[in-house]
Structure 1
């Protein structure tokens, strides 16, 4: 291998570790790298770590802790991200008789961006909950839905890479969760009383100052780890709907339905 080839290989590796969406916020980029590195070095990861909502040892314990909270018991409809560490959350939801709403990973490429999992319907069809709880299985067996047709949400669960006790959060950097929650507010699917929750490894809880909060960032109300339950003290009010002026051009290009949905939302507000 030549020196130049070795250099390009190293650059590619560092690019992967920086994350697919690196460059939008340098502080968050650095924090994500530290979290991913620490998770890998500690051996607490389950499977790949970099540039994703990483899975971790104890995710099933955190899901059990979440299921014991009053916000869970009261919820009939739960929105949950499609990532591996939340498989136990989706599975518990189905066994507890909850309707689960899951986005197609990164909202898909042209089909309806959501799936609805109704445990009664899955049982009627003979579908195993363990299959439906995986992202691939959910897309195969769930009812496809648009943002507009989703039912009102009682509990919103987000995948995170780092969180703070002030309610700050960051995912893998693509901006999907904050955009999703903004759309929910615009469409009346959640309001200021809807709990926003995550399950994360305890090593992902960082000091408040490490995670800058932007005006469009939705804040967590609860953080559940493998060893603790944290009711946060949010430092800011929740944002309103989508801050369209902060949506990046690449988000409009990569999220196939976003331009049309923006037009519908703005037209409805103008009426």
Structure 2
């Protein structure tokens, strides 16, 4: 979820009041409220342990010791635990939370207390945002199955938290300076072998438990964007926005080869697209080419390209310019991969990543006017069939 906190940012606290890296704050009164079994630290059982071994160990322990809370069983979940609301309250002690304007909290059950805190005094929340919304997130809160005091994290194994973070990197919503917080039970804090970490795994800066606030001082780099080789076709179908992000990064010349695909190299002698410069963007966002629109004159691009579909735009004004149409498309948030301009015929063709994106564009562009003329918009295939 996304929420806006207080409009004014208080000045940063002086260094003397900030927690140093590696500092662990223990709340003795809260520790006495927990049973001795609640605070037992766990270690991997054997050398050569895998991420799944650690997950199973945590899940089994939380169930057997009755530390888990609804929904149960906690296996294959980010586990909810008794005392999760207590752990969430600790976020109020973090300077980064006090200064937060935009916070992104994952939907996991043990993070519910943070979501409620973030919503206090907030009128607008869970507002859908687009890829060009220029949102800058100040704080990210994620769930975990296991986490180490070094800031190394293991999720439930589906990769959604890592992917969402990478997607935010891709649109410039977060940077390497954006702090990441996780909420866990004390028994979920354990040593994690470094060899288990992968390039796409996010690290955490703060760990909140019912009894401790841990500042990890983690220096491990965060993911720099989407690792497309980890993305399957099935995931592309489940998360439609990935198709738009992939198309953007492909236009920018990045390797977007999916899991199980062979890398597609440019055809010899084929002219490369010249990106159209985008407008203002927040710091650390990809350059203009990440939000580009390729313009060409002549016939629409050939058939057979993967994940592509064309939209016909007709009844263009005789004095219309290609820049007029580009501007209108940007304002409507319907930027294509490629724009083929046929001004003398008073028409243009727009290429989108796939048929679903093309159909969405057709719906979005209905009633579009340039000057006094209302444009005709339809799927190009349907127009040719008439």
Equivalences, count: 205
Could you state the TM-score of these two structures normalised by the residue count of structure 2?
0.50
The aligned counterpart of 2:226 is 242
Moved runs in structure 1, 4+ residues, more than 4 A?
A: none
Residue aligning to 1:145: 129
TM-score by length of 1: 0.70
Task: State which of 77, 86, 89 in structure 1 corresponds to 2:102.
Answer: 77
Q: CA deviation at 1:217?
A: 1.2
Question: Structure 2 unaligned runs (5+)?
Answer: 1-48, 253-286, 290-386
Aligned ranges 1:5-16 → 2 under 5 Å: none
Task: Measure the CA separation in 2 of the matches of 1:220 and 1:207.
Answer: 14
Deviations 1:193-227 (CA, angstroms, capped at 9, x unpaired): 10011111111111132772101111111111111
Gap change, CA 1:28 and 1:245, over 3 Å in 2: same
How big is the shift at 1:171? 1.4
Q: Which runs of 5+ in 1 are unaligned?
A: 1-25, 98-118, 123-141
In structure 1, the partner of 2:162 is: 178
Please state whether the residue corresponding to 1:120 is helix, strand or coil. coil
Tell me whether 81-90 or 250-259 shows the greater mean CA deviation.
Answer: 250-259
**Structure 1 CA distance, aligned partners of 2:225 and 2:76?**
27
Residues 32, 161 of structure 1: 8 Å contact kept: yes
* Contact 1:28 1:211 (C-alpha < 8 Å) held by counterparts: no
Matched residue, 1:120:
123
Equivalent residue runs for 1:190-201 within 5 Å = 190-201=174-185
Query: Quick check: which one's helix share is greater?
Result: 1
SS of match in other structure, 2:119:
helix
- Aligned CA RMSD, in angstroms, stands at 2.1
In 2, are the aligned partners of 1:168 and 1:212 still within 8 Å (CA)? no
The structure that has the greater radius of gyration is 2
CA contact (8 A) 2:134 2:172 kept: no
Provide Cα deviations, 1:52-104, integer angstroms capped at 9, x if missing partner: 11211111111111112101101111100011111111001112x4xxxxxxx
- Structure 2 CA distance for partners of 1:146 and 1:156, relative to 1, 3 Å: same
State how far apart, in whole Å, the 1-side matches of 2:109 and 2:93 are: 21
Question: In the TM superposition, what is the alpha-carbon distance from 1:253 to its structure 2 partner?
Answer: 3.4
CA 147–89 in structure 1, closer or farther in 2 if over 3 Å, else same: farther
**1:270–1:148 CA distance, 2 compared to 1 (3 A):** closer
